[in-house]
Structure 1
Amino acid sequence: MSGSAAADVVVEVLRAGPARKDKSCKGVIVFLHGWPDTNALWKNQVDFFTKHKYHCACLSLPSYSGYDSSHKWALDFPDVRDVLIRQIKEVNDGKPVHVVAHDWGAVFAYMIERKAPELVKTLSTIDVGGRIHIASVAGKVLVPAYQLWLSSAFVLGNVVPVVGKPIGDLMTRLCAKYFAHSPSFSADHGSHVNYPYFYFYKGLFLGGSGGTNYLKHYSPQRPTFYSYGAAKPFMFHSDGWLKEMDRREDCQVQAFPCGHWVQVDQGEALNHAILKFITTHSA
C-alpha cells in the first residue's frame, strides 16, 4: 500500500484517565499491542495508570479493528510506523509521550523512536528487544515454523478465491489459541492480522526499506525499560541488547518469571516497575 493510501487507514483508539490539559495529569502513555491482540490486552495497565493520573491512549494496529477487503494487503512496516506517528501526534497535546509496547508493538515503538525521537519521552518495551537473536535450538525450529504458517495464512486469505480467507482465518485462530495462547484474541481477527509476518519475511528475503530493515543496528535515543518473560523456550532479544540495557544509565532490563504476556501474568509487578522507571525519567 502506498503512503497516500496509508493516510486513509483508521486506527482504533481507546482513551482513559484525566484530560491531557488537566492540572492533575502527569503525562500521556501510549500503548501498542502486538499479534494477535487488541487494546483489551492493556486493561490492567490502563486501570493502574489512570489511578496514578496518567492519560492513557491504546492504539490498535492497523487492520486489527476488523477486516477491510479494500486494504487486504494491509501495510508494510514503514507505513504502519507513519500511521502510528500520525496518531501519536493527535493524542500527545504537543508533548512527548511515554510509550509502552509489546510484541510487534515493541518493534513499531522502536521504529517510531528512531524516526521521531522528539515524540518519545520514555520507552517501556515488553518481550521483544530492539535487536534479536534466536539462540536456542527450540527457537530456531519453532519461530520460523509458526511465523511462516501465519505468513502463508495471510497470503492464502488474499489470493485464493472464496475458500482462501476462511482457511487462512482458521489457520490463524488455531495458532493464536493452541500455540500462542493469546489472552485477548478477537473473534474478528483472522488471516488479515498476520501482515507483520508477511512483510517481515518479504523484507528479509528481498531487502530494501520494508520489513524491519529500518531497525538495523538500532540503539534507542530515549530512556528505555526492557522487560521480558524468562519462562519461555526461546527469547526475542540478543545478549547484546540485554547488555546495552544493563550498561546504560538511562536504561533498565528486568526479567519476570512468566511467558510472553508479561503484562497479564505479572501485571501488578510490571506496572510498578514501569511507573518507577517513567517517574525517574520524567524530570
Structure 2
Amino acid sequence: MREEEGDDDRERDLPLPALLALALPLWCVGTAGLLAWLALLPLIAAHALLTRRARGAEVPQRALVALTAHAPKGRERARDTVLLMHGWPDWPGLWDATVDALTRAGYRCFVAALPGAHGEVVRTAPLPNAVVLALRDALVAAHGNAPVTLLTHDWGAVYGYLLAQTHPALVRRIACLDVGGALRARTLPLALFTYQWPLALGFALGGPVGDAMVRLIAALMRYRARPLRAVRASSACHYVAFVRARAHAPALLGGLHLDYTPPRSVPTLFAYGARKPLMFHSAEWARRVRATACGEVHRLACGHWLMVDAPDELHELLCGWLERSERPPAEAERHAAARAPS
C-alpha cells in the first residue's frame, strides 16, 4: 500500500489553529509559560518557508508497511516465523542483533518498517487501521495465512495488539517489549504532557523545525539506538495518527486505549525495562499475560530499549521462551496452571 497523492499532500495534517492547540498544553503555565508559548509563533510562521526549501532533499515515499525476510541459519525448515515490529523513533535496523540471535536459533524473521522508519516524509499520518491492514496484506503476501509469532516494541506493540484483535488467525504467540496492553491510569496523562504532545507538534510542523524538536526529545530520552541525525519528524506520525482516529472514527479506537486481553490459548511474553521514569503497563496487564498458556512477565535492569541496553539477557530470554512455548497447547496450559498462584 502507498499513501495517496493529491492536494492533501501539499499540507501537513494539522492547520495553524491545531498547531497552536498542540503547543498550548506544553507552554501555557503561568506568565513565563505563556511567553514561551508565544515564542513558538515565529517558528510556526517560518515553517512553510523552511519546509519548502527542504523539499528538494526529501526521500521518496515508500510502502506504508514493508517487510524484510531473514531465513533461519543452519536449518532447511524454520521452527517458526517471527514478525518483528519497532516503535518510535526506530527503524528495522534496531532488530539486527535480535534477528541474528533468532535466525541462529532456527527461526525465520520478517522485520517490519513502519511509516517514517526510513526517514521518508510522511505528510498525512496514516490511521491505525490503515497501518494494520497494510501490515496484514504484507504479511499474507510474504507468508500466506499461516500464523506467526509477534515480537513487538513501543508503538509496534500497539499495532501488534490491534493485529491480534482484528486478525487473530494470523497470530500464534506474542512477545511484547516494554509497552503492555493495559496501562496505568496515571501514565497516559503524564506521558501526554511530557513528550507525546511535543512529538505530535514536531510531526505537524515537519521540516527542519519539526526534525529539531523530535531529535531534542529523543536526546532527552537518551536515545542511542542510532545517530540522532537519522531521526526525522515523520517518525512521530503515530502520535498524530491516534488523534486523527479519535476525531474521525472513534470506533477504530477499540484497542487503542490499550485494553487488550490475549486469549488463554495464545502464549504471551512481556518483558520490560525497570530503569525509566514511566512504566507502560499495569499490574492488571501482567496478570493477563500470566493467565495465558506459557505466559511470562520479566523485569530487566535496563531502560526502554531492551534490545540495545541488555541484548544478551533479552535474547536468551526470548529464545528460551520460544522453546518453552512450542509445547502443545494442552501441555502449555497445564504448565501455566501449575505456575499460577493459588
Same fold (TM over 0.5): yes
Q: Residues of 1 paired with 2:135 and 2:183: CA distance?
A: 22
Partner residue of 2:132 out of 61, 77, 81:
81
Over 3 Å counting, the alpha-carbon distance change for 1:235 and 1:205 in structure 2 is farther
Q: Residues of 2 paired with 1:269 and 1:91: CA distance?
A: 30
Q: Please list the CA deviations of residues 234-274 of structure 1 after superposition, one character each: whole Å capped at 9, or x if unmatched.
A: 10012211122234444211111111011221212211222
1:171-210 alignment to 2 at 5 Å? 171-184=213-226, 187-203=229-245, 208-210=250-252
Deviation at 1:186, TM superposition (A): 6.5
Secondary structure at 2:255 match in 1: helix
Over 3 Å counting, the alpha-carbon distance change for 1:239 and 1:185 in structure 2 is farther
The answer for unaligned runs of 5 or more in structure 1 is: 158-164
1:43-62 alignment to 2 at 5 Å? 43-62=96-115
Deviation at 1:125, TM superposition (A): 0.3
- Greater relative contact order structure (CA < 8 Å, 6+ sep): 1
Specify the alignment match of 1:265 in structure 2.
309
Partner residue of 1:13 out of 26, 42, 67:
67
Specify the alignment match of 1:280 in structure 2.
324
Q: Residues of 2 paired with 1:248 and 1:18: CA distance?
A: 27
Percent same amino acid at aligned positions? Answer: 28
Secondary structure at 1:214 match in 2: coil
Q: Does 1:132 align with 2:183?
A: yes
Q: Kindly report the root-mean-square deviation, in angstroms, between the aligned alpha carbons of the 2 structures.
A: 2.6
Specify the alignment match of 2:159 in structure 1.
108
Partner residue of 1:38 out of 91, 98, 108:
91
Tell me which structure has the larger Cα radius of gyration.
2
Secondary structure at 1:253 match in 2: strand
Over 3 Å counting, the alpha-carbon distance change for 1:186 and 1:29 in structure 2 is farther
Specify the alignment match of 1:245 in structure 2.
289
**What amino acid is the match of 1:81?**
V
Deviation at 1:278, TM superposition (A): 2.0
What's the TM-score once normalised by structure 1's chain length? 0.84
Deviation at 1:166, TM superposition (A): 1.2
The answer for unaligned runs of 5 or more in structure 2 is: 6-61, 328-342
Secondary structure at 1:98 match in 2: strand
Secondary structure at 2:289 match in 1: helix
Q: Residues of 2 paired with 1:31 and 1:203: CA distance?
A: 24
Q: Does 1:145 align with 2:194?
A: yes
Q: Please list the CA deviations of residues 135-189 of structure 1 after superposition, one character each: whole Å capped at 9, or x if unmatched.
A: 47xx8545422100010111122xxxxxxx2101111111112325141356443
Q: Residues of 2 paired with 1:40 and 1:168: CA distance?
A: 23
8 A Cα contact 1:98 1:278, kept in partner: no
Q: Please list the CA deviations of residues 5-24 of structure 1 after superposition, one character each: whole Å capped at 9, or x if unmatched.
A: 49x834343322239xx743
Over 3 Å counting, the alpha-carbon distance change for 1:44 and 1:236 in structure 2 is same
8 A Cα contact 1:204 1:213, kept in partner: no
8 A Cα contact 1:133 1:237, kept in partner: yes
Q: Which has the higher helix share?
A: 2
Over 3 Å counting, the alpha-carbon distance change for 1:123 and 1:242 in structure 2 is same
Equivalences, count = 267
